[in-house]
Chains A and B, each alone.
Chain A
Amino acid sequence: MGVEGIGASVVRKEDKRFITGKGRYVDDIKLQGMTHAHFIRSPHAHAKVKGIDSAEALKMPGVVAVLTGQQIVDDKVGNLICGWAITSKDGSPMKMGAWPAMAPETVRFVGQAVAVVIAETKNLARDAAEAVVVDYEELPAVADVHAAIKAGAPQLHPEAPGNQVYDWVIGDEGATDAAFSKAANVVKLDVTNNRLAPNAMEPRAAIADYDSAEEHFTLYTTSQNPHVARLVLSAFYNIAPEHKLRVIAPDVGGGFGSKIFIYPEEMVALWASKKVGRPVKWTGDRTEAFLTDAHGRDHVTHAEMAFDANNNITGLKVKTYANFGAYMSLFSSSVPTYLYATLLSGQYNIPAIHAEVIGVYTNTTPVDAYRGAGRPEASYLIERLMETAARQLKVDPAALRRQNFITQFPHQTPVIMAYDTGDFNASLDAAMKAIDYAGFAARKAKAKADGMLRGIGVSCYIEACGIAPSKAVGSLGAGVGLWESAEVRVNPVGTIEILTGSHSHGQGHETTFCQLVAERLGIPISQVSIVHGDTDKVQFGMGTYGSRSAAVGLTAILKAMEKMEAKAKKIAAHALEASEADIVIENGEFKVTGTDKAIALPMVALAAYTAHNLPDGMEPGLKESAFYDPTNFTFPAGAYICEVEVDPGTGKTSFVNFVAADDFGRLINPMIVEGQVHGGLAQGIGQALLEHAIYDANGQPVTASFMDYSMPRADDLPSFKLSHTTTLCPGNPLGIKGCGEAGAIGASAAVINAITDAIGKNNLEMPATPDRVWRTIHAA
């Protein structure tokens, strides 16, 4: 590896603008003549909109317009879509209610927009919004999945009787039942996977600018995938054809999944900018983020695991109720099905699995993919089950895992996934060594003498990333292909621009993607720029989510690089009067192997563009593009172990140690990879100890600000001890697996396993708040 090549912990190129306050986020942008939008949102979880009176508001100074849900429907702006069709076990398609961008008739969650005020300033828009009178007729609401499926429950959508979106199954029920009938031991567990609010630190924002002369829209938006946004806005929402719509996602302040989706506010801003003939800006505040950013998780699950007399797992049965909130968000349907149930085999040999997932509407904010998306729920369930099993079977939890690990690859699980490679023993060994697992009993005894309850918890996770082989996901109902595109432009002076459909909102693409170029060409990363986030610059792309940017996006760049290099070698060979096969690239030069003959990259580039002396028949220029469609998912895996101390007086948990041993395949920039893991671990710990988006029985949110929703802070978390074991991913040429979500997927179970070990009681729901832990300790 070179100093800036693959494997080097290069400091990030993008950092300078962020540390000097020069980042450019959507809210930092001002356009000439820009107006400001303020949405009027329902205070009710379920209500009929009987009327909207905006007469007084329209008289107020600075008010440009008040636009309503009925108007957006009348203008034939399309309803929001869900892009992954799921089929119920009875063969029927999933049942979806309509979701207009602003509600013309019925609101179904607190915060759903019914109208928007456009005014000269943000304050004036908000002032006027209070003068708009909305006449609601309240309807009974339901927030909890179990309550929602009961007979007589308030009904959200006529299309979905019983509030049921789908009842989906996977696996072999007969084989699973047979395994249970022969089981020596059955372990049962009920778990709730608590609802999370994403809370990217930058609230969502949009600026729409309609050019009436060109009939062209420009949208600046906080998006993880501007091309997908443009596609959906064009093809489904009737905003404008794609060539008349430019979507720009500039610096984006975190996404974690929540900025994948196309939200009503962006649609309304675009539509309104044409209506008022001026640019329209909307910047959400934190309260709006809590109310309208798609939430994550929210599963209620019963699971049973069968073991034979030798403690080998023989079967797994899972029944999960997934709360979708009031509407089906863009990718929501796939999260508790193909992103969840397909990972239920965990790291283990499980001969038979059967899972049933019931998707349920409730009067709450829509739920969709968030930081792990289905995989944290699967991993949490399996790893809580393994821990529970070890306690019930009275064996060491690490040993029980080890005994059941998959060790032969490739491995076909009973739930679709074919694991390509891995070494689960290696990561567990590394984690156990790092935390001194063997010495735990002595530490626990010492803590006990000090009046503290100490526990240790293991979690061995596996996830499916590198999303995704288009043909495979297409056969499972996905509405899009999940490849990635890239373009390599070598400029006439030899500098390089890489255009990518991936989007960086913290992941460091502007550095890691350059490292690949540095590795291959031997040039400094300062000579390479990454261009992303603008549909006018980059032809197409699927964006960044599901830990896919390196495994899929970077591989697309590699493919384009290979094409570019092949052409450049031809030019170099021609110039050096050598055979193309003898040309090697080193330190920015094209050399004739075994000689001192060489031509530098800038000269090759210049030759390509001057075209004075190119090989016969060669087109001028040096620019290549590629689309890369992965052949399989990738399977990052690892072992997390944490050691905690619980204060029996307060129930408060503190960390003694947290170790992570991950296998991400090849690392491009270990420093950045570790940063990704740290963030994920904080999310996993946050879910385990602190975070919970709560609604009361009537669908009123109880945690809609940082005063009530516990965000992990620096003093809630430990420093982490990270290590890596490596099996290269055979599915892509770089051997990359992906690292963005691992921490969030694996950490929660380790924490709860440790706390339940400490307090000696197995049943403890997340978040394990001090109150909840204290009550569990003292429960009869």
Chain B
Amino acid sequence: MYQTTYHRASSVDEAAALFAKGSEAKFLAGGQTLLPVMKQRLASPSDVIDLGKIKELIGIEVSGDTLTVKAATPHYDVATSDAVKKAIPALAYLASLIGDPAVRYRGTIGGSIANNDPAADYPAALLALGATVKTNKRSIAAEDFFKGLFTTALEDGEIITSVSFPVPQKAGYAKMPHPASRFALTAVFVAQTKSGEIRVAATGASQSGVMRVPAIEAALKTSWSPSAIDGVTISASNLLSDIHGTSEYRANLIKVMAQRAVAAAG
């Protein structure tokens, strides 16, 4: 790791101020992605601003039909939260599949979506559930937040404070893990909103990161059942292809994972 200066912020405002002072500062939430990258000298922030101990950034709240997960809440808390399990069990399940137990204690929802790894789990949930990302400056709809591989709508120095999920009618998640990294080789989140809208998002599959899957959404509109997806054809073009999965295989996985997610959602 290159030399850097570590700061622990005690409030969002302090974190923003520290960021402004650094020449090439980076925010550190759980550090489960940033630190490995820094260890390999693939990132060299002048300053690292730790958001992990900011009290206002930690916690889970349910208010009416909205579940809010604050940005520095670790995956473990989401996976085991009674509130999450009751409101959106698929989200708790998704969180329980991220990384491994030690990573889940440290990794956070804010860190995950700010990084927007094309194979990360959370982006699929945000997109399928139509979540809203709140920052210290504004609210951003999930649709507008994810901008392709490792790219988001966040501006320099902008801090995610929470993610609000509308509680759906039903939702499900199914993941084929990458055999080495345990990210998603392909995973699909399906949701039926309270207003009846059907939203399906896939992660790990597309060359441009998390994406909606309109063909499956259309099929599920006719009938919310795994078999409704049987006749859908997913094109392999623009899907990722690597040693662990060809694009054809990922196209198949989108379909199969969607079917299993629907089955799980009930």
Taking the nearest CB of chain A, how far is it from the CB of B47, in angstroms?
18
User: CA A274 – CA B139 in complex, angstroms?
Assistant: 63
A703 to B246, CA, bound (A): 16
A774 at the interface (CB under 8 A from B): yes
Contacting residues, chain A, for B41 (C-beta < 8 A)? 126, 130
Interchain CA distance A710-B244 in the complex, whole Å: 9
Interface residues of A in 690-719 (CB under 8 A from B): 690, 692, 694, 702-703, 706-711, 716
**A616-671 residues at the B interface, CB under 8 angstroms:** 649-652
User: Can you list, as one digit per residue, whether each of A756-778 has a CB less than 8 Å from chain B (1) or not (0)?
Assistant: 00000000000001110011000
A702 lies within 8 A of B243 (CB): yes
Min Cβ gap B218→A in Å is 21
Bound: A652/B252 CA distance, A: 13
B248 within 8 A of A: yes
- Give the one of B185, B243, B252, B256 with max A CB within 10 A: B243
Q: Contacts A127-B2, A694-B243, A775-B248; is A711 near B180 (CB within 8 Å)?
A: yes
Q: How far is the CA of A237 from the CA of B106 in the complex (A)?
A: 48
CB distance from A596 to the nearest CB of B (A): 62
Q: Is the CB of B180 within 8 A of A710?
A: yes
Chain A 375-399 interface 0/1 with B at a Cβ cutoff of 8 Å (1 = within): 0000000000000000000000000
Residues in A with CB closer than 8 Å to B2 are 127
Tell me if A92 counts as interface (CB < 8 A to partner B). Answer: no
Q: Contact: B246 with A771, CB < 8 Å?
A: yes
B248, closest chain A residue (CB): A775
Shortest CB-to-CB span from A772 to chain B, Å, is 9
A775: which B residues are within 8 A, CB to CB?
Answer: 246, 248-249
CA distance A702 to B180 in the complex (A): 13
A774 contacts across to B, CB distance below 8 A: 249, 252
Q: In the complex, A710→B2 CA distance in Å?
A: 28
Rounded to whole angstroms, the CA-CA distance of A759 and B259 in the bound complex is 22
Residue B149 lies at the interface, judged by CB distance under 8 Å to chain A: no
The answer to whether A710 and B179 touch across the interface, beta carbons within 8 angstroms, is: yes
- Smallest CB separation, A701 vs chain B (Å): 11
A769–B179 touching, CB < 8 Å: yes
Question: Please, how many angstroms separate the alpha-carbon atoms of A703 and B181 in the complex?
Answer: 11
Please report the total number of A residues contacting B with Cβ < 8 Å.
26
Q: Does B59 contact A (CB under 8 A)?
A: no
CB-CB nearest in chain A for B39: A285
Q: Does A212 contact B (CB under 8 A)?
A: no
Taking a contact as CB atoms closer than 8 A, the residue among A123, A130, A287, A703 that contacts B1 in the complex is A123
- Residues of chain B within 8 A (CB-CB) of A650 are 176, 253, 256
Contact digits for A602-615, partner B, Cβ 8 Å, 1 yes 0 no: 00000000000000
In chain B, positions 179-233 with a C-beta closer than 8 Å to chain A are 179-181, 185
Bound CA span A703–B179, Å: 12
- A290-347 contacts to B, CB under 8 A, are none
Contact A690 B179 (CB under 8 A): yes
Which residues between 245 and 298 of chain A lie within 8 Å of chain B, taking CB atoms?
A: 287
Which of A694, A702, A707, A716 counts the most chain B CB atoms within 10 A?
A707
Query: B157: CB under 8 A from chain A?
Result: no
B111 to chain A, nearest CB (A): 17
Contacts A692-B243, A771-B244, A775-B248 known; A708 to B180 CB distance under 8 Å? yes
- Residue B148 CB within 8 A of the other chain: no
Q: Do the beta carbons of B256 and A771 come within 8 Å of each other?
A: no
Which residue of chain B has its CB nearest to the CB of A716? B179
A125 to chain B, nearest CB (A): 13
Q: Which residues from 116 to 132 on chain A have a C-beta closer than 8 Å to any C-beta of chain B? A: 123, 126-127, 130
Choose one: A287, A706, A769; the contact of B244 (CB below 8 Å): A769
Residues of A within 8 A of B176 (CB): 650, 652, 770
Between-chain CB contacts (< 8 Å), 5 pairs: A650-B176, A651-B249, A707-B180, A770-B249, A771-B246
When A and B form their complex, which 5 residue pairs have the shortest distance between CB atoms, in order from nearest? A710-B179, A649-B256, A710-B180, A771-B249, A707-B181
Q: A652-B176, A710-B244, A711-B180 are in contact. List 19 more A-B contacts (CB 8 A).
A: A126-B41, A127-B2, A127-B3, A130-B41, A649-B259, A649-B260, A650-B176, A650-B256, A694-B243, A703-B180, A706-B181, A708-B180, A709-B180, A710-B180, A769-B244, A770-B179, A770-B245, A771-B246, A775-B249
